[in-house]
Amino acid sequence: MKKVIVLIISSISLPLCAAQVASKSKTLSNPLYSPDIITEHISGEKADKKYFIPQITAITEDMKKKGIEHQGIPQKSSGILRVATYNVHGWRSPLKKFSDPIGTDFDAICNTIKEINPDVVLLQEVVFRPKQTPEVFSKLGYPYHSFCHGNPKGGDFGNMIISKVPFAKAPISHNFGTKTKPHDRCYTKVELDLKDYGARNLVLYDTHLDVESGKQRFSEIEQLVSLVHSHDKGKNVLIGADWNTVRGRPALTYLEHHGFTDCFNADKLSEPKFTHWTSHNLDRLYLWNWHLPIAGCYVYYSAASDHLPVIMDIALDKEGAAPSGSAAPKKEGSKA
């Protein structure tokens, strides 16, 4: 999605979301943004005021009416494996174009990641510098990474997985399409070894589907389903992505028909109203063959990017069991 908004943080105390009412753990600062002072920070040269101000005002009012203007996210405990998917907009703020330089915007993205403290992050729209990007994230505590090039000929733009947890085997990265006609969209895949927890290994795919062509998106979904069903039997599978489409449309309907479940649905939680500041729900964590206990699913409201981080907590201990009050493992998804 190319339309963007810039927002200003307001300091408001946060109630816990329904899934965490019983929890006594501290919550992250996760404020909603106030539309009242947007006009002071939007220039007519950079944004269309007629679109952005009414749009964010409408979103804000709708959230208030529904009582969902805040969602508490617990501080991550030692028994939790936290996974997040996050489109970082080329490390730029929502108001900037891809030609703008990286600077404080990159720091804002990093600060958002540090605040939510995931163990694994599936990033989209990454500008990748081979000698710089891995080093930066290693210093942030993510020494393991995998990157795929959106352009089949190479380049520095694509998707990246960063992890605090070692990979069980070498990562895999490919472009969708065929060898003779590759798409300018790619996926990268890693596997985490969870045998010490008495659990099946966790396979993670990170991708970003085509934005213009529904036909191409559907083709990419078909390939993802085929890959998982062919290569990942007997493992827990998670796909994090900017899907560039919404539920009810052909691509995600096909995905769900073949046994994949959105993490909010798997944990019987209400879905977020939006994951992109234009009010669309584009970013999801989909699960397949899932046997791990889910401790919670969340969205973190941040103006660092035009997308919001979507987060899932997995409860792990040496027996692979869920702590009291968390969701039970889910049944195996259907196979093609």
- Kind and range of the H or E element at 221? helix 214-231
Tokens (6 digits) for 19: 């899934």
pLDDT confidence tier of residue 263, bands split at 50, 70 and 90: very high
Tokens of 160: 């990246």
Place of tokens 């002071």: 40
Contact 105, 68 (CB under 8 A): no
Query: Distance between CA atoms of 16 and 71, rounded to whole angstroms?
Result: 6
Q: Which of 268, 269, 273 is nearest to 66 (CA)?
A: 273
Residue 6 CA to residue 10 CA, distance in Å, equals 13
Average pLDDT over residues 182-201: 90
Confidence bin at 279 (pLDDT 50/70/90): confident
Residue 328 gets which letter from DSSP? P
- What average pLDDT does this structure show over 63-68? 67
What average pLDDT does this structure show over 41-63? Answer: 54
Residues 198, 183: contact at Cβ < 8 Å? Answer: no
Q: Which domains does the chain have, with CATH numbers?
A: 8-66 (no CATH), 80-315 (3.60.10.10)
User: Which of 244, 286, 234 is CA-nearest to residue 265?
Assistant: 286
Percentage with pLDDT > 70 across the chain: 74
| Beta-strand runs (E) in 209-330 | 236-242, 261-262, 283-288, 294-299, 310-315
pLDDT of residue 154: 83
Least confident segment among 50-59, 143-152, 233-242, 274-283: 50-59
Residues 94 and 118: their CA atoms lie apart, in Å, by 22
Residue 284 three-state SS: strand
Rounded Cα gap, residues 111 and 104, in angstroms: 10
Please give the share of the chain, as a percent, with pLDDT higher than 90: 55
Indicate whether 227 pLDDT > 50: yes
pLDDT, residue 51, reads: 54
86 vs 16, higher pLDDT: 86
Strands (E), 4-133: 8-9, 33-34, 80-87, 120-127
Residue 68, classed as helix, strand or coil, is: coil
